[in-house]
Amino acid sequence: MKSRLYSIVAVFLLAACGADDRVPATSQVAADEEETAEEFVARANAEFADLWKETAAADWVMATYITEDTQLLSAAQSERYAAWHSGIVKQAMRYDGKELAPEVQRAIDLLKLGTSKPAPDDPDKRRELSQIASKLEADYGAGKYCRSEGDCKTLPQLEDILAQSRDYDELLDAWQGWRTISPPMRKPYQRFVELANEGARELGYSDLGEMWRSGYDMSPAEFEAETERLWQQVKPLYDELHCHVRAKLGEQYGTDKVPQDAPIPAHLLGNMWSQGWSFIYDIMEPYPDAPTMDVDATLKTKNYSPQEMVRSAENFYVSLGMPRLPDTFWERSMFSKPDNRDVVCHASAWTMDGADDLRIKMCIKQTYDELRVIYHELGHNYYQWAYKDEQPLFWNGAHSGFHEAIGDTITLSMTPGYLAEVGLIPSADQGRESVINRQMMQALDKIAFLPFGKLIDEWRWGVFSGAIPPETYNQGWWDLRTQYQGIQPPVPRGEADFDPGAKFHIPANVSYTRYFLAHILQFQFQRALCEAAGYEGELHACSIYGSKEAGEKLWAMLEAGASQPWQDTLEKLTGTREMDATAIIDYFEPLMAYLKEQNEGRSCGW
37, 63, 107, 347: the catalytic one is 347
Annotation marks residue 532 as catalytic: no
535/547 Cα distance (integer angstroms)? 10
79, 128, 159, 404: the catalytic one is 404
Annotation marks residue 376 as catalytic: yes
Concatenate the DSSP letters of all residues of 168-198 into one string. HHHHHHHHHHHTTSSGGGHHHHHHHHHHHHH
Annotation marks residue 380 as catalytic: yes
267, 505, 519, 540: the catalytic one is 505
Rg (CA), the chain: 23
468/566 Cα distance (integer angstroms)? 31
Number of Cβ atoms within 10 Å of the Cβ of 325 = 23
Report the SS3 class of residue 158.
helix
242, 244, 346, 540: the catalytic one is 346
H runs (alpha helix) in 333-399: 368-386
79, 210, 377, 458: the catalytic one is 377
81, 368, 515, 535: the catalytic one is 515
Beta-sheet strands, E only, within 134-270: 144-148, 151-154, 264-265
242, 376, 399, 540: the catalytic one is 376
Annotation marks residue 346 as catalytic: yes
Helices 432-465 and 473-485: crossing angle, nearest 10°?
A: 150
Rounded to 5 degrees, what angle do the CA atoms 157, 159, 162 make? 120
Four-CA torsion 333, 337, 338, 339, nearest 10 degrees: -170
Q: Which amino acid is present at 91?
A: Q
Annotation marks residue 99 as catalytic: no
Backbone angles phi, psi at 349, to 5 degrees: -115, 140
Which residues does 31 contact at the CB level (< 8 Å), separation at least 6? Answer: 90, 91, 94
600: alpha, beta or left, given left = phi > 0 and alpha = psi -120 to 50? beta
Annotation marks residue 34 as catalytic: no
Q: What's 29's DSSP letter? A: -
Cβ 349 vs Cβ 384: under 8 Å:
yes
Q: Which amino acid is present at 134?
A: S
Number of Cβ atoms within 10 Å of the Cβ of 430 = 20
380, 399, 403, 519: the catalytic one is 380
Positions annotated as catalytic residues are 346-347, 376-377, 380, 404, 505, 515
